[in-house]
């Protein structure tokens, strides 16, 4: 359940953005005392009792200095029963060149992992916001799950670098007790409070009178999830990351029920 405070310290990277700011808000609303944000930009509407740190995830020293403060303010110690949970939601906006995606998504995520692995910084969990696009190659995907491999030819630089970042995060998961646990989530489209991409894009099409043209037969489906449901998934993933693994002989049941729900 995400209804009660876990007592850990929480650092939302990209927490001034659409999804990240709702994660920080949900953590505060369930009573977490130590919620911090690390972002390139200041928050448009800062959340009360959330600590804000400005910085770039490609800078190891800036991430390290932030984590030292997060650790110390929460009174955490390396090897303690509670640690810092990182939610890594940062990524550049759509429509940019390949260099910036490589720098932030690949090099930046490598930097986050390197810092999270430093025992003295007391990071215990890393939840990475990936994207459904990491397995999309331009063809319809129906009823697929996480067993689907990455496409041989990625769709574009954004999705390619999200896939590389996701792979790095999953590889960084340690099975050893007390060491870093990682997980990646793959939302498709996200809508809701604070969205600056999806709905504003639709409204712009209407406003500029571009609705005369239709590509295709208007039968294509696309998955959309309300932002606070994506937030809920992040909190559940973090909370369960150090729980005992689900028995392997029951995994089939989970796969089936995910498909029914999808």
For residues 157 and 100, give the distance between their C-alpha atoms in angstroms, rounded to a whole number.
9
Nearest 5°: CA angle at 233, between 229 and 238?
A: 150
131 binds ligand NAD (CB under 6 A): yes
**Would you say 76 or 227 has its CB closer to ligand NAD?**
227
Distance of CA 222 to the CA centre of its chain: 20
User: What's 194-224 look like in SS3?
Assistant: CCCCHHHHHHHHHHCCCCCCCCCCCCCCCCE
Q: How many chain residues are in contact with ligand NAD, going by CB under 6 A? A: 26
- Residue 162 bears catalytic tag: yes
- Relative to beta strand 123-129, strand 181-185 is parallel
CB of 86 to ligand NAD, least distance (A): 12
Binding mask 33-72 for ligand NAD (x = CB under 6 A): ------xxx--------------xxx--------------
103, 153, 162, 212: the catalytic one is: 162
Q: How far apart are CA 14 and CA 88, in angstroms?
A: 7
192 makes contact with ligand NAD (CB under 6 A): no
- The number of angstroms, rounded, from the C-alpha of 208 to the middle of its chain's C-alpha atoms is 33
3-class state of residue 244 by DSSP: coil
Q: Scanning residues 159 to 188, which ones bind ligand NAD (CB under 6 A)? A: 162, 187
- Closest separation in Å from C-beta 41 to ligand NAD: 4
Token pair for 225: 């999830």
Of 89, 110, 124, 161, the residue at the interface with ligand NAD (CB under 6 A) is: 89
> CA nearest 172: which of 86, 77, 76?
86
Measured from the CB atom, the residue of 122 and 132 that comes closer to ligand NAD is 132
Tell me: does residue 129 bind ligand NAD (CB under 6 A).
yes
Cβ closest to ligand NAD, residue 124 vs residue 161: 161
Which of 108, 115, 122, 237 forms a contact with ligand NAD (CB under 6 A)? 108
14 dihedral zone (left: phi>0; alpha: psi -120 to 50; beta): left
Which region among 11-19, 199-207, 240-248, 251-259 touches ligand NAD (by CB under 6 A)?
A: 11-19
Please, what is the Cα angle at 59 between 108 and 82, to 5 degrees? 80
Binding site for ligand NAD (CB under 6 A): 14, 16-20, 39-41, 56-58, 89-93, 104, 108, 129, 131, 162, 187, 189-190, 197
Catalogue the active-site residues: 162
């Amino acid at each position: 359940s995400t209804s009660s405070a876990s007592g850990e310290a929480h650092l939302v990277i990209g927490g001034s953005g659409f999804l990240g700011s709702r994660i920080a808000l949900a953590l505060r609303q369930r009573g977490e005392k130590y919620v911090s944000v690390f972002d390139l930009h200041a928050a448009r509407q800062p959340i009360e009792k959330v600590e804000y740190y400005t910085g770039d995830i490609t800078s190891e020293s800036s991430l390290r200095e932030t984590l030292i403060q997060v650790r110390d303010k929460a009174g955490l110690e390396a090897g303690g029963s509670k640690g810092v949970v990182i939610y890594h939601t940062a990524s550049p906006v759509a429509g940019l060149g390949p260099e910036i995606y490589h720098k932030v998504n690949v090099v930046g995520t490598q930097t986050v992992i390197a810092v999270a692995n430093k025992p003295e910084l007391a990071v215990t969990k890393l939840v990475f916001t990936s994207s459904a696009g990491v397995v999309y190659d331009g063809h319809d995907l129906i009823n697929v799950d996480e067993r689907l491999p990455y496409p041989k030819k990625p769709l574009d630089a954004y999705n390619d670098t999200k896939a590389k970042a996701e792979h790095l995060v999953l590889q960084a998961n340690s099975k050893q007790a007390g060491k870093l646990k990682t997980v990646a989530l793959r939302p498709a489209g996200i809508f809701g409070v604070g969205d600056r991409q999806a709905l504003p894009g639709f409204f712009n099409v209407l406003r500029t009178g571009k609705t005369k043209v239709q590509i295709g037969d208007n039968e294509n489906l696309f998955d959309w999830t309300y932002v606070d449901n994506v937030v809920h998934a992040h909190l559940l993933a973090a909370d369960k990351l150090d729980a005992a693994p689900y028995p392997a002989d029951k995994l089939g049941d989970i796969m089936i029920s995910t498909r029914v729900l999808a």
